[in-house]
Amino acid sequence: MRLRVLLLLTVFPLFAVSAPLPLPDQGPALRIQGSNTIGAALGPALVKGLMEHQGLQAVHSEPGEGVNEQRVIGKTRQGKTVTIEVAAHGSSTGFTALKKASADLAASSRPIKDSELVDLEPLGDLKSPEAEQVIAIDGLAIILHPQNPLNTLNTEQLAQIFNGEVSTWEALGGVGGPIHVYARDDQSGTYDTFKELVLRLRGKPLASGAKRFESSEQLSDAVSHDPQGIGFIGLPYVRQAKAVAIVDGDSQPMLALNSLIATEDYPLSRRLFFYLPPSGHNPWAKALVDFTQSAKGQAIVAANGFIAQQVQAIAVQPRPSMPDDYQGIARDAQRLTVNFRFEEGSASLDNKARQDLQRVVAYLKSHDKLDKQVTLVGFGDAKDDPQRAALLSKLRAMAVRRELVKNAVVLRDIRGLGAQMPVAANTADEGRIKNRRVEVWVY
C-alpha cells in the first residue's frame, strides 16, 4: 500500500485548521462511544484540547445522562454553545454505536474484531490507515496490594490465577491465604485485551467468582485496599496499588515501564485506537483524530498517563544474556522508542508502523542523523527452523530500510538476530507476531 506523504517538519504532522469547523443547528457536534480506558479521562481531555484549538471559550466537562458519560461544552465568540458527548461503556459498545449511527467515532482499547469489521463494511474499510488510528500505547499492569511481597509473575501463572486454578498466595510462594480476583466487565476493551493476551491463549475462562468492575479507578482502589487482591488495569490507573514485573515465555521479567511499553516489548502492552468511518465521516471526528496525532494531542496523551508516540532515544545497558554483537550496538548507540512490526503473515508494515516511519524520519532529520547514523536490528520467531528465522529477521530489517531510503536516510548497518531475545512466548501467533520486530538504533 502506498505510504501517505506527510509533512516532516516536526516529529508529528503539523495540525492546522484552515477554517472553523461547522457547527450543528442542534444536538452535539460529535458523539464518541467506546472504551472506558480512553473515555474516562483521555478522550475528554483530547476533546477539550481540540475545542480550545478551535478557539472555543469556557471549555469544561459536565456529567452526561448516564454513568461513565460526559459532555464537553464550549462557547464560540458569538456565544453559541458547542457540545461533544463521550460515553465510556467499553470498546465493543463503540462499534455497536457506529453501526446504529449513534456515534461518529469509536474509541477502542483493542483492535477491531473481524466480525465487527464485516458488520461495519457499509461504512468503509475500518482497517484502512485512515480509519484505524493508533492514538496511544498502554500497558496492562498486574496490580497487587502494596504490602504483597511478590514482585514477579509469569503469564502462565496469571492465567491460572484468574481462572481460579491457583487459588492461594502460598501456591505462588507468597503469603496471605485465598486469592481475591478483580477484573473489568465484559464490555471492557481492557478485559478483552487481558482475555486475548493471557486467558484465551491458554484456553482458560475467567473465574466465575471474580469481582467485576466497569470503572478502572474503582477496580484499582479495591485491590489496593485488599491484602489478598489481584487485578489487571490500564497503566494510568495503578494509583495506590503495586504493579509486578511480568515474564512471557523466555522473556526477561519486565515492569510496566514507559520505555518497554513504547516499544511494545512489555508482554501486556496494547494499542489504543480511534476508529473513524471512512464514508461520510463527521468533520469534527476527523479533526479530533488529526489533533490527537499532533504534537499537542500527544502531549495530552502523555499528561493523562499513557505512552505518547513521540520518538526518543534511550540508552540500553548491555547485559551478559544479550548476543555479543547486540551488546556492542548497545554500548555505542541509543535505541529509539519505536519498534516496527508487521501485518500478520506479511512483510508489510502495519498501520502504526506506517505512521512511525514518518516519525522516525522526522527525528533523524531534526537530529542530523540521516547519513550512516542508523542501524536496524531485526528479530523473528523460532518456529522449527532457526536459520529461517535469522533470514526473515534480516529481510524485515531490509523492508524497513527500503522505506527509510525513500526518505533520504543512508543506513550504517542492518542486522538480523533471528529468534534471539524474545519479548513474548513463541507458543501462539500473538507472541510470534510481537517477536517479529525491527529495532532502530542511532549513533
**pLDDT tens figures, 19-32:** 689 999 999 999 99
Model confidence pLDDT, tens digit, residues 300-336 = 999 998 999 999 999 999 999 999 999 999 999 999 9
What is the number of other CB atoms lying within 10 angstroms of the CB of residue 15? 16
pLDDT of residue 66 exceeding 50, the answer is yes
Beta bridge partners of 57: 75
CA distance 142 to 255: 10
Burial of 205 (0-12, 13-18, 19+ CB in 10 A): exposed
Q: Which residue has the cell 458547542?
A: 82
Report phi then psi at 27, rounded to 5.
Answer: 80, 180
Per-residue pLDDT, 425: 82
Model confidence pLDDT, tens digit, residues 228-247 = 999 999 988 999 999 999 99
Model confidence pLDDT, tens digit, residues 339-357 = 998 766 566 788 899 889 9
Ranges of CATH 3.40.190.10 domains, the chain: 30-136+271-303, 139-261
For residue 122, give the DSSP letter.
G
Per-residue pLDDT, 217: 95
Per-residue pLDDT, 428: 67
Model confidence pLDDT, tens digit, residues 158-172 = 999 999 999 999 999
Q: Quick one: 311-442 is in which CATH superfamily?
A: OmpA-like domain (3.30.1330.60)
Higher pLDDT, 146 or 389: 146
What is the number of other CB atoms lying within 10 angstroms of the CB of residue 207? 17
Report phi then psi at 97, rounded to 5.
Answer: -70, -35
What angle do the packed helices 295-303 and 42-53 form, to 10 degrees?
150
CA distance 115 to 342: 22
pLDDT of residue 193 exceeding 50, the answer is yes
What angle do the packed helices 283-293 and 295-303 form, to 10 degrees?
70
Per-residue pLDDT, 6: 32
Q: Which residue has the cell 501517505?
A: 4
CATH number of 139-261: 3.40.190.10
Per-residue pLDDT, 189: 82
Model confidence pLDDT, tens digit, residues 319-329 = 999 999 999 99
Model confidence pLDDT, tens digit, residues 177-192 = 999 999 999 988 899 8
Model confidence pLDDT, tens digit, residues 34-43 = 999 999 999 9
What is the signed CA dihedral for 106, 58, 236, 423, rounded to 10 degrees?
A: 50
Q: In which order are the strands placed within the sheet that holds 413-416?
A: 313-314, 334-341, 437-442, 374-379, 413-416
Per-residue pLDDT, 344: 62
**Residues 60/73, Cβ–Cβ less than 8 Å:** yes
Query: What is the share, in percent, of the chain residues with pLDDT greater than 70?
Result: 93
Per-residue pLDDT, 392: 86
Per-residue pLDDT, 414: 96
Q: 345: alpha, beta or left, given left = phi > 0 and alpha = psi -120 to 50?
A: left
Query: What is the share, in percent, of the chain residues with pLDDT greater than 90?
Result: 77
Instruction: Count CA atoms closer than 13 A to 246's CA, side-chain side.
Output: 29
Which CATH fold topology does 30-136+271-303 show?
D-Maltodextrin-Binding Protein; domain 2 (3.40.190)
pLDDT of residue 7 exceeding 50, the answer is no
Helix (H, G, I), strand (E, B) or coil at 333: coil
Per-residue pLDDT, 424: 82
pLDDT band at 18 (very low <50, low <70, confident <90, very high): very low
pTM of the predicted structure, to 2 decimals:
0.82
* CA distance readout (Å), 259 to 137, 313, 322, 416: 11, 10, 18, 22
**Residues 139/307, Cβ–Cβ less than 8 Å:** yes
Report the run of H or E that residue 159 belongs to, with start and end. Answer: helix 155-163
Model confidence pLDDT, tens digit, residues 80-132 = 999 999 999 999 999 999 999 999 999 999 999 999 999 999 999 999 999 99
What is the number of other CB atoms lying within 10 angstroms of the CB of residue 69? 16
